[in-house]
Amino acid sequence: MDLQGIESLLGVSSPWVITDTQIHTQNLEIDVYIDFERGSKFPCPNCGTICSVHDSNFVRVRHLDLFEYRCYLNIKVPRTNCDKDGIKTTHIDKWSRKGSHYSFKFEALFIRLIREMSVLAISRELGEPDNNLWRSFRYHVKNKTIYSFDFNTVTRVCVDETAIKRGHNYVSIFTDYDTGHVLFVADGRKKEVFDLFYGWLWDNNGHPGNIELFSMDMSKSYKAGQREYFPHSEVVFDRFHIKKCLNKAINDVRNAEVKDVESLKKTKYMWLKNEKNLTTTQQEKLSEFILESSTNTAHAYLLKNSFDQLWCVQSHAIIPLMDSWIETALSLTLKPITKFINTIYDHYNGIIMSIKTGVTNAISEGLNSVMQLARTRARGYRNPQNFIDMIYFLGNPE
């Protein structure tokens, strides 16, 4: 094989030379040997002084395939002999990064492929152990994805929890409300995730004091975490989460009533869905219930609509209107509704802030599809960190 041809293909130039290639036809591999010219000198990795070479080792890294052959670069790595530091192993950063099993080009190929297929599938396709690929991926996410943020500009943050697998192994995801960037992903959903986020900001040149607002669900642990670690910030409870609680109350009212009122059977979604998403038959049925006004469920339903209207009112009118809504709601004396009102009292300021600011976690709604994709791409991941890295990667398009 023409060594000079391969030299130009690989961008090998003085002091580097290709001294040999070996083709292993049986296992379809090519080894390319890259050496340095005799008498070459290299900087000491400690102090940078140009030193003579003491001895050397070969480092073997996987490169892009050559035809159907897996290609490996065997790069001669010199150990320098420095007057001050003694004998030191250098690293040649022309083809691969230190400690990597792969050349830069191979790594770039692998990272491109992750956008298209799972790490497990890539591992099979390229014939590389998946834990080596995950390690390489980790490096990429840490140094390319996360490093490219300016954490200092972040002021409003959405926090969401999501299950790695259905129903268990939760992670908490901190997203920048203004850009939609996934800022931080923590294992678990306890209050300590706020402590970790606090440390994460410091470690990445951000400033916890810059965070003005957290948008979150009404979980006790998030509330406690925010209060403890970011006491200066405001809390906004996510409108859709509040709505979900009220929907649950409406459904509980219906469940309690359905035994006595035959016509309420099989109407669950009619009361919960957005009116404009109902079929004509459902709309007619709903109007009938409302006109009749004889069921608790219909009364509770109207309350739900007027609660929703609160998000359209002027700032100064929010509190009086909220208080009068609560008064009307209490007068119905329905247990599930009273329970919901207690939830309002427990989260009063954050709910008022939701109406005032209009901030919701909707920006991180896109996270649902990211999570869906992350579950597919990270299929067979060996530890939660791999999955977390996948969320950073997919949640922050480059």
Measured CA distances, 55 to 44, 89, 213, 277 (Å): 13, 9, 58, 75
77 vs 272, which CB is nearer to Zn ion? 77
Beta bridge partners of 103: 96
Pick out residues in 71-110 that bind Zn ion (CB under 5 A): 82, 84-85
Name the minimum Å distance from CB 56 to Zn ion. Answer: 17
Q: Minimum distance between the CB of residue 52 and Zn ion, rounded to whole angstroms?
A: 12
Q: In whole angstroms, how close is the CB of 93 to Zn ion at the nearest point?
A: 18
Residue 45 beta carbon to Zn ion: minimum distance, rounded to whole angstroms: 8
Q: How far is the CB of 163 from Zn ion (least distance, A)?
A: 52
Contact residue for Zn ion among 19, 22, 46, 294 (CB under 5 A) = 46
Q: Which stretch binds Zn ion (CB under 5 A): 39-47, 53-61, 215-223, 340-348?
A: 39-47
Residue 47 contacts Zn ion per CB under 5 A: yes
Cβ proximity to Zn ion, 46 vs 369, nearer residue: 46
Q: In this chain, which of 44, 141, 196, 322 binds Zn ion, going by CB under 5 A?
A: 44
**Listed ranges 47-55, 155-163, 312-320, 369-377: which one lies at the site for Zn ion (CB under 5 A):** 47-55
Task: Tell me the residue ranges of DSSP E strands in 142-288.
Answer: 156-165, 168-176, 182-187, 213-216, 234-237
Cα separation of 54 and 201, whole Å? Answer: 44
> Checking phi first, is residue 52 left (phi over 0); if not, alpha (psi -120 to 50) or beta?
beta
Each as own residue / partner, the long-range contacts of residues 42-47 (CB below 8 Å, 24 or more positions apart, any chain) are 42/78, 42/80, 42/90, 43/80, 43/90, 44/80, 44/82, 44/84, 44/85, 44/88, 44/90, 45/80, 45/88, 45/89, 45/90, 45/91, 46/82, 46/84, 46/85, 46/88, 47/82, 47/84, 47/85
What x/- string results for residues 51 through 70 when contact with Zn ion is judged by CB under 5 A?
A: --------------------
Site size with Zn ion, rule: CB under 5 A: 6
* Residue ranges that bind Zn ion, judged by CB under 5 A: 44, 46-47, 82, 84-85
